[in-house]
Each structure stands twice: as C-alpha cells, then as structure tokens.
Amino acid sequence: MYDGDVELGRNDDCWCGSGKKYKKCHLEFDERLEKLAQQGAQLPPRALLKTPAEVEAIKRSAQVNVGVLDLVAKKIGPGITTEEIDQWVYDYTTEHGAIPAPLDYEGFPKSVCTSVNEVVCHGIPSPDEVLKDGDIVNVDCSTILDGYFSDSSRMFCIGDVAPKVRELVEATKESIQVGLAEAQPWRPIGNIGAAINAFAKEHGYSVVREFGGHGIGLEFHEDPFVSFACRPDTGWLLVPGLMFTIEPMINMGKHRIDMSDPNGWTVRTKDGLPTAQWEVQVLMTDEGYELISW
Ligand code: MF3
Ligand code: CO
C-alpha cells in the first residue's frame, strides 16, 4: 500500500473497518494512490483519511458544534457581552456531553473565540466587551465529543451595519462557496485557496496569510495547513476521506496583521480596518465533498 503499511490480501478485511473484503472495498482506491504516488503526486498519508466509523463519530461532534452556533445566532444582538456568548457556548456544549475545544487549548482561557470588527481571529470573550449597533463579530466554535473534533465559525452583524462592512461579511461568506466549488476529489487542495484569494482580490480585499484552515477530526489541528494565499495546482490531492476546514480571513484593507497584543492571542488588522471570517469543516468523498460543520 502506498504509504508503507503491511500488504493486505484480496480476501482480508479492509483496513477501513467496513467489514468488507479488501478487494470489494479499498483495493482499487489503494492501487490508484500507489500509481499516483509513483507519478510523483503529493498525497496525504493514509492515517489522515477518515474511516466510516470515524466520520460518524466526528459528525456527532459536529452536531453539537452546529447546535452551539445556531443557539448563538438566535440570542446574539446589541447589548450582549462576548462573555455571555462564552457562557452560552460552555453551557450548551457541556449539557450535550461535549467539551469546548478552545478551553485550555495551549492556554486559551475561554470556550470560544469572539473576534469583533478589526480583530482577525482568536478574540477572547470578556465581560467588558459589549456588542453595539454596527459591530461585526466572528464566533468560532470548536467541540470535542468522545475525543472527536469539529470546528466552524460564522459572522454576525449587530444591528445596523454600514453597507461597506456588511458587503465584506457577505463577500467572505460567498468566498466559502467559491472555495467549495474547487473541493473536487483527486484535484490539488491549493485550488481552493487560490480561488478564494482571487475572489477576494476582485472585490478589492486582501487575505490573511499567516492563518488558514487545517485538517481536523482525531485532533483539533491536523495536517494539512490550508492556505488562502497560495497558488493553484499546489499541495496534496484531495483524496476521499480527507477532512479539513476552509476558513479564510478577509480584510477590507491590507493583509498585514498585528499580533502584539500582550494577551498573546488577539490578532488584529495592522491598518485597523474591519475583517471577516467564515469557517466550514468538510469531508472529501468519492463524488465531491460533504459539509460536516458550518
Ligand atoms: N477555532 C480556531 C480554528 O479555526 C482555533 C482556535 S484556537 C483557540 O482553528 F485556542 F484560540 F481557541
Ligand atoms: Co479551524
């Protein structure tokens, strides 16, 4: 097999846990990978490809994650503090038997990231931060259920948002669809980021380079790093079973960021202009992709 595992016999049980014979399950798939590897294609290691059982478990995690964001969507508005959002996320997640993945992750102090206006990502919820009319905020939720990870984020417009800022939020949402259109099995992953980058540039925006998407499932952040400032026809092929996030950060002004906040987390645009981000988690399939969390 292509990444050096022990050869399976045609009549052995398939490695994916389906219970089917290898020849009726992943034999053809492995032969395809082996051939591509010989041709010099860049391929993910098989350990990153999710088995059907893993996909089911990750979907259960994502059900909680989507539920959290649906709850936030219902309750968010002017006068709410980002601390309150954190409390909703903690309560909903734990009441559903899950753990908020950000809590204590590399020292992150809260259950969710709330990034307001010029904050690019990793904003820390605070009782002193009151959402007011005209603000935009990204709420980035990640969940661990039975050891399986899900991760997605949405933007929320608070009250009356200036048309230019609302357009940034809408265009960033649309950029996810532009990226998903490139999420085609056996095509290079770089096409996703390249398409999103071109779309953002057409709108006069810029894309943050330092942060991007990531593999996910058995861990919070797995390989690959999914850049949104990359060239087409680069990176791993999108092999069915690969799971990752698409989460571009699009700035109204320049792409440069400021990471000097003493809290070690909050990332801002260098020019202080607004920025937006949406995040989805996807699984590559034989036919295309499946949305896992949104
Ligand atoms: N949810 C973020 C992502 O999309 C990661 C946040 S890490 C944290 O990858 F510690 F800040 F929560
Ligand atoms: Co993510």
Q: What is the pLDDT of residues 154-186, one digit of tens each?
A: 999 999 999 999 999 999 999 999 999 999 999
The atom of ligand 1 lying closest to the CA of 247 is 4
- Could you say which ligand is closest to the alpha carbon of residue 140? 1
Q: Which of 85, 105, 113 to mutate to test the pocket of ligand 1 (most atoms within 8 A of CB)?
A: 113
pLDDT digits (tens, 9 = 90+) for 70-110: 999 999 999 999 999 999 999 999 999 999 999 999 999 99
Give the pair of three-digit tokens for residue 147. 């050891």
Atom of ligand 1 nearest to the CA of 106: 10
Q: Does residue 54's CB lie within 6 angstroms of at least one atom of ligand 1? A: no
Percent of the chain with pLDDT over 70: 98
pLDDT at 28: 94
Tokens of 37: 């590897």
> What is the distance in A from the centroid of ligand 2 to the CA of 199?
21
DSSP code string of the chain: -TTSPPPPPTTSBPTTSSSSBGGGTTHHHHHHHHHHHHTT-----GGGSPPHHHHHHHHHHHHHHHHHHHHHHHH--TT-BHHHHHHHHHHHHHHTT-EETTTTGGG--SSSEEEETTEEE-PPP-TT-B--TT-EEEEEEEEEETTEEEEEEEEEE-SS--HHHHHHHHHHHHHHHHHHTT--TTSBTHHHHHHHHHHHHHTT-EE-SS--EEE-SSSSSEEEEE-SS--TT-S-B--TT-EEEE--EEESS-S-EE---TTS--EEETT---EEE-BEEEEE-SSSEEEEE-
Beta-carbon neighbours within 5 Å of ion ligand 2 = 151, 245
Q: How confident is the model at residue 2 (pLDDT cuts 50, 70, 90)?
A: low
Residue bearing the CA closest to ligand 1, atom 2: 140
Instruction: Report the amino acid identity of residue 207.
Output: V
What is the CA(16)–ligand 1 centre distance, in A?
29
Query: Mean pLDDT across the stretch 209-215?
Result: 98
The pLDDT > 90 percentage for the chain reads: 96
Report yes or no: 120 and 138 within 8 Å, Cβ to Cβ.
no
User: Which of 143, 151, 153 has most ligand 1 atoms within 8 Å of its beta carbon, as the pocket-test mutant?
Assistant: 151
- In order of 7, 76, 115, 134, 135, the CA distances from 160 in angstroms are 61, 14, 18, 5, 8
How far is ligand 1, taken at its centre, from the CA of residue 23, in Å?
A: 40
Q: Kindly report which listed range (16-25, 57-66, 69-78, 271-280) carries the lowest average pLDDT score.
A: 16-25
Residue in 144, 151, 176 with CA at minimum distance from that of residue 281:
151
How many A from CA of 38 to the centre of ligand 2?
32
Nearest CA to ligand 1 atom 12: 102
Residues 114-147 have pLDDT tens digits of 999 999 999 999 999 999 999 999 999 999 999 9
Instruction: Return the number of other C-beta atoms located less than 10 Å from residue 81's C-beta.
Output: 16
Strand partners, 226: 213
**Is residue 1's pLDDT more than 50?**
no
Peptide bond into 224 cis (omega under 30): yes
- Give the ligand 1 atom nearest the CA of 221: 9
Q: Which residues are within 8 A (CB) of 113 and not within 5 positions of it... i.e. 6 or more apart? A: 102, 121, 122, 123, 124, 138, 139, 140, 153
The mean per-residue pLDDT over the stretch 51-66 comes to 98
pLDDT of residue 3: 65
Residue 151 Cα, ligand 2 centroid: separation in angstroms? 5
The span from the CA of 3 to the CA of 12, in Å, is 18
The average confidence (pLDDT) of the chain is 97
> Ligand 1: which residue has its CA nearest to atom 8?
102
Residue 32 CB contacts under 8 Å (≥ 6 apart), including other chains: none
For residue 125 and ligand 1, the question of a CB distance below 6 A is answered with no
Is the CB–ligand 1 distance for residue 113 below 6 Å? yes
